[in-house]
Structure 1
Amino acid sequence: MSKDIRIKKGLNINLVGAAEKETTKAVDSNVYAIDMADFHGVTPKMILKQGAEVKAGEPVFFSKDIEEMMFVSPVSGELIEINRGARRRILSLKILADKQQETLAHKPLDLEKATKADVKAYLLKGGCWPFIKQRPYDVVAHPDATPKAIFVSGYVTAPLAADLNYTLSGKEAELQAAITALSKMTPGKVHVSVGKDATSPLAGLKNMELHKVSGPHPAGLVGTQINRIDPVNKGEVVWTISPQDLVVLGEYVLTGKYNPERTVALVGSSVKKPQYYTAKIGAEISTFLYASGVEGDNFRVINGDVLTGLQSAPDGHLGHYNTTVSVIPEGDDYEFFGWNKPVFDKVSVSRALTFSWLQPNKKYDLDTNTNGEHRAFVLTGQYEKVFPLDIYPMQLLKACMVKDLDEMEHLGLYEVAPEDFSLTEFICVSKQPHQKIIREGLDLLKQEIG
């Protein structure tokens, strides 16, 4: 039996360049990268030295604070580069892949007999633990914590995001193994959300509670679903994991082998043939970017969706958690008196000289132009129109900016992640970096309160 969740507040951003349901295997990358920015708050301690040979699934480094938490190589090859920044902080690693891949094999996990401790130890040593994130703080989950619930969002509303009903097709066995393993990690429930009108491979799984979600973005964000199902209060912990990461985790449980392959949606109006590619985590984006063709030479590659992704070079590498690569025109041109004339080709929640509200299903070809620069952070009432959480967004943002810990706690910072403010950032007339403000607030709260 499922429980319906209907979200009314929000805004769908319909963009040109959705991926056709056609999947091609990307050309094997020569070099794979592990970017430490993907693991926010983790201080790496190297196990291997530069020049060492490594197998796929073999630990390369561990967390300084949690020594049993291993981070493994996506491929077999040679560790050719350890990129360091200020104070010798490790920023990224690069691995030159072998032509013949060799994978480190573990004994498959017996899910019927496995205890919570067995599952935890198995995921930690195999490098699958970093797929599990926690709230509060939106960081890699602490293995000693006991989550009151675990959440998986199989409903996608982000602009041009990969269609999970398509990418998860045929992966029911891996998904079930992962859900069964995770169900042993919590005394509560594993909550799985799917679209109300869609048939999802996640819908028929056991050992979980199913929710059918409908509504505009950000209805598909796991934070929105947590807020409606089982909100996070002070002293509580919940875990989250994305569906494609469930597949990697489930395959590891069933076979004992770490296979970080995923189906990536290459999307955006600058892509001539948007479609899906299978590639491994850390692969060079250029291995599938130019296979589809790119319009012009003035474009931006975004590692992720257009609201939450990070800018990347065309020869950058696929992020650890990303299943979408977006390519849209670079917005480095400006309209003369653009603020003082009717606008027909942009998305806006305001009805002042804008008309997107008249055509809610129209698809837009947007660029990266912010249409303005930083200005006074003023109260407009617009954020509340697209922010469905039971939280005051403006007040929480200002509390984070002035570093008021008490107000940050009282206003619900424990419950949110930066991505929950991606839509308010998109419509912000003050052009403030909402996600950065929330990230800094979470870091401060974790540092001061823990």
Structure 2
Amino acid sequence: MLSTSIIVVGIVLVIGLIVSLADNLMQIEAKKNNLDISKGQFTLFPSLSKWFGAKKPASIKDAPYHNLTKGFDVKIAGKASKEIAMGNAKTFAILPPNFNGMSPIPKVEVNVGDEVAAGDVLFYDKKREGINYVAPVSGEVIAVNRGAKRSIASVVILADKVIKHKQFATPDLSSVTRDDLIAFLKISGGLTLLNQRPFDVIPDDDVVPANIFVSTFDTAPLAPDYSFIAEDNAVAFQEGINVLNLLTDGKVYVGLDGRPGKVVSDTFKNVTNAEVHYFNGKHPAGNVGIQIHHIAPITTTSKVWTIGVQELISLGKLFLTGKYDAERTVAITGTSCANPKYVKTYVGANIGELIAGNVEGDNNRIISGDPLSGSKKSSEGFMDYRDDQVTIIEEGDEYELFGWLLPVSPRPSMSGTFPNALFSNFEFEPTTNTHGERRAFVMTGQYEKTLPMDIYPQHLMKAILTGDIEKMEGLGINELTEEDIAICEFVCTSKQPLQAILRDGLDMMQEQS
């Protein structure tokens, strides 16, 4: 009897292994042929979430609904309150290093002392002449700062008290050709509001994107609430969508917040000329890259464009008014922020001026962006081009004796070492301490638990480190950008700089393209 049972169990295991191998081979072959495997049609094992996952809320009605089961929310105190103040920034800068692939020394069209209006050209990339990078405000050019090897680090403007705009003759959307539309976007600075994937670069003017994607919510720590920001900008948002439709032969997709209890602005819900998709899940569910993966993944031959909510509003205003309006509502956040709130300012605001009088303590990390993927700044620095969040948290430069052995201080962590699951809504007061040093890059399975994409992040990282271009492409590097992999870096036991590694890989891929 025992021997019969063992034989039956063995047969079942063998059959299971064969079926599992067949399922893997089916999906590998589908990816090789650029087929969309994200919807589960090329698998012998339909996801259990299709049967037992969260049910689609009745309020969503007929819109597609994606319930993501992977991810991790980093809950930090210091979220901006729903009040908007006028920002105090007086100087603004455009930073050429913010644009991937740009020549280190772009052609600067202004000199110190020149007066410019918002929309006037500041510089352009010598490799891509005709695409203008324009002034976000009017005023006097007070500095053209240089970095290593005489590269251009920033072009700084002291803003006028009342902003003056260059007036553009906007094309009629009902009759304009795509070529003429692209030409207008190039000279007006509108093309720089968009982003092209893979590689996260300013779009190629001769590329027709397969689709264009907009995410209307952000799940990163302390991220701004775009439903709150966009409430009074419905007309400009819709006009921006209308423009996007003329730039692609595919669809414009808009990702909406489908998490329980979240309020979605009518600006987003009532949008037309776009296909809306709701997403429910933990961070990084709000990342546009995650949404692309689950709606219409990037293939080895396709290119897609993306645009943020406030950039889309600027695009709409450009066509409604003929003016390049770089106004931004920025969330000032973090545990070292005395009064977390929203402020109105413009692209590239001076951070020190923006947060003056609103900082507690004298040993803080100032971040342009969110704590996971933002960049470290000094108080003399400027916000990065696409950022609409400033985060201020305590530095983690104090030695923690046996911190790894005696976890007595609560901290945001995916590790079961801390009883975080017992306090699911607790907001932590973190520091920048990594709680450990870089160590052997071992397989842990942590990345796969936090990244809701059909790729193997750790295998990809090792392929990048070894410079294996073919394997990098096969493992899905074209679908990723730094913000997507940032949550993996946060939970990484090996303390690897995954975002920097990924950027190296993307640069290698771009050189080969």
Return the letter of the residue paired with 2:139: G
- The reply to whether residue 402 of structure 1 matches residue 402 of structure 2 is no
Q: Return the match for 2:421 from 349, 352, 357.
A: 357
Tell me the distance in 1 between the aligned counterparts of 2:408 and 2:458: 26
2:338 maps to which residue? Answer: 272
Q: Which residue is equivalent to 1:252?
A: 318
User: 1:340 aligns to what?
Assistant: 405
Residues 314-343 of structure 1: per-residue CA shift (max 9 Å, x gap)? 232122101100000111112211111244
Q: C-alpha separation between the residues in 1 aligned to 2:88 and 2:323? A: 22
> What SS class does the counterpart of residue 139 from structure 1 fall into?
coil
Paired position in structure 2 for 1:183: 245
Whether 2:67 is the aligned partner of 1:2: answer: no
- Are 2:92 and 1:26 equivalent residues in the alignment? no
Q: Residue 102 of structure 2: which of 36, 42, 54 is its match?
A: 42
Supply the distance in 1 between the matched residues of 2:161 and 2:271 (Cα, whole angstroms): 37
Q: Distance in 2 between matches of 1:4 and 1:307?
A: 26
Decide which moves more: 103-112 or 413-422: 103-112
2:420 is matched by which residue type in structure 1? S
Aligned residue in 1 for 2:191: 129
CA–CA distance in structure 1, aligned partners of residues 143 and 89 of structure 2 = 19
**Relative to structure 1, is the Cα distance of residues 167 and 391 closer, same or farther in structure 2, using a 3 angstrom cutoff?**
same
Shift of 1:58: 0.4
Q: Distance in 1 between matches of 2:345 and 2:277?
A: 30
Q: What is the alpha-carbon distance in structure 1 between the residues aligned to residue 234 and residue 342 of structure 2? A: 20
For 1:7 and 1:104, how far apart are their aligned partners in 2? 45
In the TM superposition, what is the alpha-carbon distance from 1:50 to its structure 2 partner? Answer: 3.3
Q: Tell me, what secondary structure is at the counterpart of 1:340?
A: coil
Instruction: Kindly indicate whether residue 387 of structure 2 is the aligned counterpart of residue 322 of structure 1.
Output: yes
Answering whether residue 508 of structure 2 is matched by residue 444 of structure 1, we say yes
Corresponding letter in the other structure for 1:220: G
Moved more, 63-72 or 105-114: 105-114
Alignment counterpart, residue 442 of structure 2, candidates 378, 389, 403: 378
* 1:157-191, Cα deviation, whole Å (9 max, x unpaired): 11000001101111011001111001111011000
Give the alignment's Cα RMSD to 1 decimal: 1.4
Conserved 8 A contact 2:170-2:184: no
Partner Cα separation in structure 2 for residue 344 and residue 334 of structure 1 = 13
Aligned to 1:64: 126
Task: Summarize deviations over 1:15-49 as a string: whole Å, max 9, x none.
Answer: 100000000011241x2211112111112222223
Which residue matches 2:29?
Answer: none
Equivalent residues of 1:149, 1:187 under 8 A apart: yes
Q: Deviations over 1:356-397 (max 9, x none)?
A: 122222111111111111111111111111011100000000
SS at match of 2:179: helix
Partner secondary structure for residue 65 of structure 1: helix
Deviation at 1:5, TM superposition (A): 1.1
* Mapping of residues 166-315 of structure 1, within 5 Å: 166-196=228-258, 197-200=262-265, 201-291=267-357, 293-315=358-380
Summarize deviations over 1:281-324 as a string: whole Å, max 9, x none.
Answer: 12212233124x21111111100000110011123212210110
Is 2:494 the partner of 1:430? yes
Q: One-letter code of the match for 1:307? A: L
CA distance in 1, matches of 2:230, 2:300: 35
- CA distance in 2: counterparts of 1:364 and 1:28, whole angstroms: 30
Structure 2: distance between partners of 1:310 and 1:28: 19
Q: Distance in 1 between matches of 2:349 and 2:204?
A: 27
What TM-score, normalized by structure 2, do the two folds share?
A: 0.85
Between stretches 355-364 and 15-24, larger displacement belongs to: 355-364
Indicate whether 1:119 and 2:181 are aligned: yes
Tell which deviates more after alignment, 416-425 or 86-95.
Answer: 86-95
Question: Which amino acid counterpart does residue 402 of structure 2 have in structure 1?
Answer: F
2:341 and 2:245 mapped to 1: Cα distance? 34
Amino acid at match of 1:414: N
Structure 1 stretch displaced more, 118-127 or 185-194: 118-127
**Per-residue deviation at 1:344?**
5.3
Match of 2:156 in 1: 94
Name segments (4+ residues, structure 1) moved above 4 Å. Answer: none
The answer to whether the 8 Å contact 1:154/1:192 transfers is yes
Q: Secondary structure at the match of 1:8?
A: coil
SS of the aligned residue for 2:69 comes to: coil
**Bigger RCO of structures 1 and 2 (CA < 8 A, at least 6 apart):** 1
Distance of 2:153 and 2:468 partners within structure 1:
30
Q: Which has the higher helix share?
A: 2
Whether the 8 Å CA contact 2:89–2:351 is kept in 1: the answer is no
Determine helix, strand or coil for the equivalent of 1:400. helix
Instruction: Quote the Cα distance in structure 2 between the aligned partners of 1:288 and 1:51.
Output: 24
The number of residue pairs the alignment matches comes to 446
Opposite residue 263 of structure 1, the aligned amino acid is T
Q: Distance in 2 between matches of 1:337 and 1:397?
A: 29
| Structure 1: distance between partners of 2:398 and 2:111 | 46
Q: Shift of the alpha carbon at 1:154?
A: 0.7
2:95 and 2:155 in contact (8 A); partners too: yes
* Cα contact 1:344–1:354 (8 A) shared by 2: no
Take 2:114 and 2:356, find their aligned partners in 1: how far apart are those partners? 31
- Cα distance between partner residues in 2 of 1:6 and 1:445: 31
AA of the residue aligned to 2:78: G
| 8 A contact 2:138–2:165 mirrored in 1 | yes
Q: Percent identity?
A: 41
| Rounded Cα–Cα distance in structure 2 between residues aligned with 1:413 and 1:88 | 32
Q: SS of 2:124's equivalent?
A: strand
**Farther off after superposition, 116-125 or 428-437:** 116-125
Secondary structure of 1:140's partner?
Answer: coil
**Which structure has the greater CA radius of gyration?**
2
The structural deviation recorded for 1:259 is 1.2
**Match of 1:40, as an amino acid?**
N
Alpha-carbon deviation of 1:100?
4.4
